[in-house]
Amino acid sequence: MPISFTTVSDLQTALNADRLAGKKIGFVPTMGALHEGHLSLVKSAAAGNDIVVCSIFVNPTQFNNAADLEKYPRMPDADIHLLKTAGCDYAFLPSVNEIYPNGKILLDIHFGDLEKVMEGEFRPGHFKGMATVVNRLFEIVTPDNAYFGKKDFQQLAIVKNMVKQLGLSVNVIGCETLREEDGLAMSSRNMLLTAAQRKAAPMIYKARRTAQEFIPFHTVEAVKELVTRYIQQSPLLKVEYFEIVNPETLQPIQDWNECKEVQGCIAVLTEGPRLIDNITYATI
């Protein structure tokens, strides 16, 4: 079993001893309700470090919707059990007060155009809250390496940008998205889908994968429209956005010849959870 900590000081006492012993620290921040995707991050951390810390903290400052925060699945006992199988040494489950001892004060940081599009546009304040907690967790854990899933493509870009802006010494590593057999990207929110929504959801991946074949024959706008229409054949799915972006700047492209590889990023509304995913397209 990983050793569980709930206070910053207890975790830091353990980590200080590890660091003095010359051990390399890998860190996986999560909001719990762990699935194979999270465990693959923990496994990558275990492969590249001596000690693996996984935090489980449902961060209130990154939710722009109170109902979403309340409904977010919480299952710490099952999470700790799963962490054992993946090679995690320390599980960190802090209270809100432990993370925000002086109140929920947000980090004063801006991400320019990176935060103006997609999730930044549709979930105002989300990235400020996410960056605030990730920075706080980095300050507590001071990891050598930190692991994030590429499913949250924009989050990964923002975390890398934050590390650069603040001059932090942590190495941020993006790991591949894990999918269910039918293509649905693994996510803690999937467990909130009804049986009918779960049946419809793989369409999100299938439609966008098929889009690769349209690229030589259609404009960017036309591909976006075709994919949106295809997904919305299901009355249970409503595309909030589907953007095809430059993977570095995250800005929507107008023409295929702007980049050799582009990222198709999508958010889909169901009557239950909101689902996001992304896929890489080769343009030439």
| Residues acting as catalytic residues | 38
Under 8 Å CB-to-CB from 216, ≥6 apart: which residues?
A: none
Selected range binding ligand PAF among 26-34, 163-171, 198-206, 243-251, rule: CB under 6 A: 26-34
CA nearest neighbour of 35 among 73, 92, 91: 73
185-244 residues in contact with ligand PAF (CB under 6 A) are none
Q: Does 130 bind ligand PAF (CB under 6 A)?
A: yes
Q: Does 29 bind ligand PAF (CB under 6 A)?
A: yes
Residue reference for tokens 């972006």: 245
- Which one, 30 or 263, has the nearer CB to ligand PAF? 30
Cα separation, 267 vs 46, in Å, equals 31
- Which one, 57 or 242, has the nearer CB to ligand PAF? 57
Output phi, psi for 81, to 5 deg. -65, -45
Give me the least distance between CB of 218 and ligand PAF, in Å please: 33
Give me the least distance between CB of 221 and ligand PAF, in Å please: 30
- Pairing outcome for strands 51-56 and 145-149: unpaired
Q: Are 263 and 278 in contact (CB under 8 A)?
A: yes
Q: Are 119 and 127 in contact (CB under 8 A)?
A: yes
Q: Does 98 bind ligand PAF (CB under 6 A)?
A: no
- Which one, 189 or 224, has the nearer CB to ligand PAF? 189
Q: Does 134 bind ligand PAF (CB under 6 A)?
A: yes
Q: Does 119 bind ligand PAF (CB under 6 A)?
A: no
Strand stretches in the chain, DSSP E: 3-5, 25-30, 51-56, 90-92, 145-149, 171-175, 238-245, 261-269, 274-282
Of residues 15, 88, 133, 141, which one binds ligand PAF by CB under 6 A?
133
Q: Does 37 bind ligand PAF (CB under 6 A)?
A: no
Residues that bind ligand PAF (CB under 6 A): 29-31, 59, 62, 130, 133-134, 152, 155
